[in-house]
Amino acid sequence: QVQLVESGGGLVQPGGSLRLSCAASGSFDSIYIMGWYRQTPGKQRDLVASITSGGTANYADSVKGRFTISRDNAKNTVYLQMNSLKPEDTAVYYCKTTTTRAYWGQGTQVTVSS
The pLDDT, as a whole number, for residue 57 is: 97
Question: 82, 71 in Cβ contact below 8 A?
Answer: no
The pLDDT, as a whole number, for residue 15 is: 98
How many residues make up the chain in this entry? 114
Q: Give the chain's residues under pLDDT 50.
A: none
| Angstrom distance (rounded) from CA 6 to CA 90 | 16
Q: Over the range 35-64, which residues count as b (16 or more CB within 10 Å of their CB) and which as e?
A: bbbbeeeeeebeebbbbeeeeeeebeeebe
The pLDDT, as a whole number, for residue 1 is: 84
Mean predicted lDDT score pLDDT of the chain? 95
The pLDDT, as a whole number, for residue 32 is: 85
The pLDDT, as a whole number, for residue 113 is: 97
| Angstrom distance (rounded) from CA 82 to CA 68 | 7
88-92: which pairs have CB atoms within 8 A and are 24 or more residues apart? 88/62, 88/112, 89/38, 89/63, 90/40, 91/38, 91/39, 91/40, 92/38, 92/39, 92/40
The pLDDT, as a whole number, for residue 29 is: 78
